[in-house]
Amino acid sequence: MAYSKKVVDHYENPRNVGSFGSSTEVGERSDIGVGIVGAPECGDVMQLQIKVGDDGVIEDAKFKCFGCGSAIASSSLATEWIKGRTVDDALNVKNTEIVEELSLPPVKIHCSVLAEDSIRSAIADYKKKNGVETETKAHSH
C-alpha cells in the first residue's frame, strides 16, 4: 500500500509523542485527561493524554500508538489539532477531517475514527476527574 506524504512525515517525525508520566502518575492528576482506545488483538491501540489549564484550554497533548502508519499519523495529527483549543472545542475535531488531511484510503478510515475516539475519551476522563457531567459517546464500530 502506498502512503501519502503526510502519513510518512507523521510516521517518521511524530508530533507530541510521549506521556506526562506513568499510568499511575497521570491517573492521580486532575489536570490531565487520558484516553486509551482500541485493542491489541485488533492491531491498534491509541493513548492520548491532554494537559488542561484552569481556563479549560488544552495546553499540551501527548500520544502513543500501537498500530499501522495511518494510525500513528492520525493520532499524531490529532495532538496537533487539539493543542490550544478548549476541551469543548476539541470535541469538534471530526474523523472525516483527519481522513481528508492525511488522504487515508477507505481501509484506513477506522484509524481516523480511533483518533477521534481517543480525543473524546481523553476529554471525558478529564471532565470526570473534575466533576463535569458529560454525554460524550464513543463510536460503536
Q: Annotated active-site positions, please?
A: 42, 111
88 CB neighbour count, 10 Å cutoff: 11
Q: At its nearest, how many Å lie between other proteins and the CB of residue 2?
A: 11
Q: Where do we find the cell 476527574? A: 129
125 near other proteins (CB under 8 A)? no
Tell me how far apart the alpha carbons of residues 90 and 87 are, in angstroms, rounded to a whole number: 5
Q: At its nearest, how many Å lie between other proteins and the CB of residue 30?
A: 21
User: Would you call 141 helix, strand, or coil by DSSP?
Assistant: coil
Amino acid at site 140: S
138 near other proteins (CB under 8 A)? yes
- Quick one: 43 or 84, whose CB is closer to other proteins? 43
Residue 113: all three cell numbers together: 475514527
Instruction: Choose the binding region for other proteins from 43-51, 77-85, 88-96, 124-132 (rule: CB under 8 A).
Output: 43-51
